[in-house]
Amino acid sequence: MDAQNAGKLNQLLAELGDTRLVSSRWLRAHGYSNSLVARYMGSGWLVSPARGVYMRRGGRLQWDGVVRSLQLGEGMPLHVGGRFALGLQGHEHYLRLGDAGTITLYGPRQPPGWVGKLSLEQRFEYPGKGPVDLTAVPVTAEVSGTVLSEAGLAWYSAAPGADALVCSTPERAMLELCDGVSGAAEVYEADALMQAMTTLRPQRVGLLLRHCRSIKAKRLFLALADRHRHAWLAHMSLEGVDLGRGKRALVPGGRLHPTYQITLPGDLDEHLA
């Protein structure tokens, strides 16, 4: 291998590190031809965990490395949200068993097909932009926490020393979770999580509610917060928040919340005990 190609290989391996993946598109954009990538594969420097994507031989295939690759490598404005983001931030003991391995990615662009073909313990799901209608933040290593905060997002690490990922803050993650609720079991989970949301920031909650498209998510979020009498509710303005009209039957035979006009299971207190 000549010095130029050796230099390109060393640069690529340094870029990849232990958990990074790069797509064929990324490689072409950075001057790595198909024939050069084939040589790296043949020489044992690279492996392909799924068609169209590569990592260094001996690297570790991990869900957070995949997300980091999508956000910073592929430049996709995706964020980890909903149930998984809440678990990542320390609320995993409130989550239903069996759901901790589903990573929900929100954003205006669907992840590439190779993401679903990776041999990971976790699986990814993509419900689209989600309920919050705020302009997606381009993810770069330089994007500030202030810019992310204005969209209800923040940097989080999956483990001590791991690379940081862009995830929903608890305020946004709870709205995303409420948007996906479709039955009593999911209401119980949302209620248990909301009980722990004692330190939400009222200004951020108000902003996200004003930009939330889902009437169901807003009503459920507020009804559960009201049920637990969180102090931050008194400091939050609902001016400009569209809560729709009429009653919403979330669960059949449930109890109608008098203020937010959405039915909740009548046995919520029993499930919290």
Are residue 196 and residue 256 in the same domain, yes or no?
yes
Provide φ and ψ at 181, rounded to 5°.
-70, 130
- Tens-digit pLDDT profile for residues 133-159: 988 887 877 788 888 999 999 999 888
* End residue of a domain, out of 40, 60, 80: 60
Residues 128 and 196 in one domain: yes
Is there a single domain that holds both residue 56 and residue 72?
no
| pLDDT value of position 272 | 65
The pLDDT score that the predictor gives to residue 4 is 58
46 and 156 share a domain? Answer: no
Task: Kindly indicate the confidence band of residue 273, based on its pLDDT and cuts at 50, 70 and 90.
Answer: low
Task: Give the chain's domain count.
Answer: 2
Q: In the chain, where does DSSP find H-type helix?
A: 3-16, 24-29, 34-42, 63-68, 82-86, 145-149, 170-179, 184-195, 202-210, 215-227, 268-272
Give Dmax (Cα) for the chain. Answer: 75
- 193 plus 150 within the same structural domain: yes
Judgement on whether residues 30 and 144 belong to the same structural domain of the protein: no
56 and 113 in a single domain? The answer is: no
Alpha-carbon dihedral sign for residues 185, 190, 193, 194: negative
Higher pLDDT, 169 or 254: 169
User: How does residue 120 score in pLDDT terms, banded at 50, 70 and 90?
Assistant: very high
Q: What is the CATH number of the domain that holds 40?
A: 1.10.10
Answer yes or no: do 107 and 50 share one domain: no
Residues 53 and 148 in one domain: no
CB 235 within 8 A of CB 244: no
Res 99: pLDDT: 57
| Higher-pLDDT residue of 1, 156 | 156
Tell me: pLDDT of 42 over 60: yes
Model's pTM, two decimal places?
0.92
Same domain, 104 and 221: yes
Quote the CA–CA distance of 198 and 23 in Å, as a whole number: 42
Which of 60, 77, 97 is the last residue in one of the domains? 60
**Cα–Cα dist 273/255, whole Å:** 19
Structural domain of residue 20, as residue ranges?
3-60
Work out the average pLDDT over 8-13: 90
User: pLDDT (tens digit, 9 = 90+) per residue, 226-235?
Assistant: 999 999 999 9
Q: Does 195 lie in the same domain as 80?
A: yes
